Structures are given as structure tokens and as C-alpha cells.
Amino acid sequence: MMESAPKSDRSRLTYKRAERYYHVTTSSRNSMMLGSAWLDYKCDWGRRHVNAPHQRSSELGSVNVRIAELFHSIQGEGEFAGTSSIFVRTTGCNLRCWFCDSPDTSWKPQGELRPWREILSDVLDIACEHVVLTGGEPLLQPEIVPLSQALRRAGRIVTVETAGTVSRLVEADLMSISPKLTNSTPRDTSRWRQRHERDRLRYRVVAKLIESARYQLKFVVDQPEDLDEVVQYLRGLPQISKDRVWLMPQGIDARELAERTKWLAPAADHLGFQLSSRRHIELFGHIRGT
Ligand code: SF4
């Protein structure tokens, strides 16, 4: 069922307030317009699958989350691809994928510490039902928990995007987990190469996360050989349903994504997995704020 974004008294403030703090770019405004034409908000779906556990939070305190950016754009990947969404991009990551598409949060982390309540307020000023807590690795930051709880209490549909290496009882309507394959390993010999290899796979963490909410697993696929590794990985988590697995081409420009999609699409079909777009890159290129 198509449903429009929630109407609130705050809706008229949508961009003005956001612009004060963040770069809501021309392209992200365009994305909102495009989004309203395409998108299926899936509101009913989101609310029917609410089952994340509660936990005590530090809501009464005033504590910070380090964020790189907050912006309004289109979700480009996975089940909610095409959905108008607000993104809270935390900065800091315990991995260092060589192909990281948000190096400002990993290789060269940037951003500011902000009280989570202030972030909440800025998100709620934007009339958009879907909120994506992403990174970097958002689960590294404890205050992502009260932020997620408050967002859901406010009626927002929350997606948490994580690499599945950190366990934290965050609340989500969709737990979007992207376990990293060997194709992600840094190609140099820095200490990050060793740390990355040590930390990138955490089966127990992923098992816990998929129990906490509806989930999707997204694998970044670079070469056809990676597909065997995906199948092998999933043998370690037999409870994962194939139709919750998405294969996503590696790449940060539309041409290379299209090239990889040529062989990835039939392979995903053959294996019984979903094919994920990276629609934000197709639409806007690889730029911040989209
Ligand atoms: S896990 Fe994600 S944010 Fe971290 S380095 Fe890899 S791609 Fe970048």
C-alpha cells in the first residue's frame, strides 16, 4: 500500500533547520522529489515487524554520538531501495575495507560529537518516515541505542546498517548487515590489514543481530569468485533465509556498477538471492550527502 510521509507540524521546517547544520544538497532535494514518485514507504510492513528487544538506556544523560553527516536522500540499497530516507552517518569504523565508499568515516574519519538528543531533534524536524543509522560502524557508539529507541517511539521506521562485528542491543525495524568478504581486505600491509582480517567475521554477532529484528544480509561482490565465498559464509548461519540475502556490485561509479551487474544479476537469480542496486550512485554519483 502506498502511504505518504507523515504530516507533522514540523514539516514546514524540513530543510531550513537541516541546512543550518548540514549540507542538504541540491541533489538530495532532487532525490526527495524523485523519491516521492517512486517510492513504496512500506509503512505497514515496518510496523508489523517490530520485535527488537528493549534495554535500559542512558536517555537521561546528555551524551554524544560522533557523526560525519546528516542528510535527506534516497536509500539506494537492499529492500528499501528507492525509499526517501534520512541518513545519520556516524564516523569511526573498526574495519578498513579497501573499497570503502565512505572513507570520511573510516580511513580518514571526520565529524563532530553531538548530543544524541540534538540529532534526534534534527531528524524529527524532517518530514520523512524512514531513518537510516549508518556509518562507519554505528554500533561502535553506545548512544546509538537511546537514539534508535527514541526514533522508533516517535514513529520512525529505523534501518541500522552495520558490518555485523559489534554486538549492541540497538532497536531497528530493519537490521541491514553487510558481512565483509576477503575481497574487502586492505591491499597494503599496514596494521589495518591484520586488524581487518582479525575482526571482519563475527558469526555470533550476526546470529544475535538477526534475532533482534527483521534483517537483510548484503554482500559486496567484486568478482564472480566471490560468490563461492558468500555460499560458504551462509553455511555457518543456516538459519538465514536465502530471500533475505542481497548481492550488491562493488563500485562507486555507475559504469562499473552496470558492468558488474551484467553477470551478478543472473548469478543472484541462479543462487536464489536478491540483487541489490546502488541507486544513489546511479542517480547522483559518488558524492557526500546522497
Ligand atoms: S565496514 Fe563499511 S564503513 Fe567500515 S571500512 Fe568497510 S565499507 Fe567502510
What spacing in Å lies between the alpha carbon of 180 and ligand 1's midpoint?
A: 9
Ligand 1 atom closest to residue 163's alpha carbon, by position in its atom list? 1
Q: Which atom of ligand 1 is nearest to the CA of 200?
A: 1
Ligand 1 touching residue 164 (CB < 6 A): no
Give me the mean pLDDT over the 222-233 stretch.
97
Q: Is 190 exposed, middle or buried (0-12, 13-18, 19+ CB in 10 A)?
A: exposed
% of residues, the chain, pLDDT over 90 = 71
Ligand 1 within 6 A of 95 CB?
A: yes
Give pLDDT, residue 53: 31
Query: Is-contact 130 215, C-beta < 8 A?
Result: no
Q: How confident is the model at residue 21 (pLDDT cuts 50, 70, 90)?
A: very low
**pLDDT average, residue stretch 252-270:** 94
**Rounded CA gap, 123 and 103, in Å?**
23
Q: Which of 170, 154, 159 shows the shortest CA–CA distance to 121? A: 154
Which atom of ligand 1 is closest in space to residue 105's alpha carbon? 3
Ligand 1 contact via 96 beta carbon (within 6 Å):
yes
Q: Which residue has the higher pLDDT, 40 or 154?
A: 154
| Whether residue 78 has a cis bond before it, omega within 30° of 0 | no
Q: What is the pLDDT of residues 272-287, one digit of tens each?
A: 999 998 888 877 777 7
CA–centroid distance, residue 18 to ligand 1 (Å): 26
Residues 215-232, mean pLDDT to the nearest whole number? 97
- One-letter amino acid identity for 22? Y
What residue's CA is closest to ligand 1, atom 8? Answer: 100
pLDDT digits (tens, 9 = 90+) for 100-112: 999 999 999 999 9
CB within 8 Å of 69: residues ≥ 6 apart: 22, 23, 87, 89, 104, 111, 288, 289
Q: How is domain 65-284 classified at the CATH fold level?
A: TIM Barrel (3.20.20)
The Å distance, Cα 99 to ligand 1 centre, comes to 8
pLDDT at 14: 32
Here the cell at position 81 is 531501495
Rounded Cα distance between 116 and 103, Å, is 23
Cα gap 36→149, rounded to integer Å: 26
Pocket test for ligand 1, best of 89, 105, 134, 198 (most atoms within 8 A of CB): 105
CA gap 108, 97 in Å, rounded: 12
The answer to whether residue 137 scores a pLDDT higher than 70 is: yes
> Counting atoms of ligand 1 from 1, which one is nearest the CA of 107?
5
Average pLDDT over residues 9-30: 33
CB of 106 closer than 6 angstroms to any ligand 1 atom: yes
Would the pLDDT of 7 be above 90? no
Mean pLDDT, to the nearest integer, of 129-158? 97
In the chain, where the domains are located: 65-284
Q: How many other C-beta atoms can be found within 10 angstroms of the C-beta atom of residue 235?
A: 8
- Mean pLDDT is lowest, of 39-53, 200-214, 244-258, for 39-53
Q: Can you state the angle between helices 116-124 and 144-153, rounded to 10 degrees?
A: 30
Write down the pLDDT at residue 277: 82
Q: What is the pLDDT of residue 103?
A: 93
What contacts 273, CB < 8 A, 6 or more positions away?
A: 230, 242, 243, 245, 246, 247
Residue from 67, 87, 96 whose mutation best tests the ligand 1 pocket (most atoms within 8 A of CB): 96
C-alpha of residue 205 to centroid of ligand 1, in Å = 17
Q: Are 88 and 123 in contact (CB under 8 A)?
A: yes
Distance between Cα 135 and ligand 1 center (Å): 7
Which of 20-24, 28-32, 65-69 shows the highest mean pLDDT?
A: 65-69
- Choose one of 66, 97, 107, 108 to mutate for the ligand 1 pocket test, by most ligand atoms within 8 angstroms of C-beta: 97
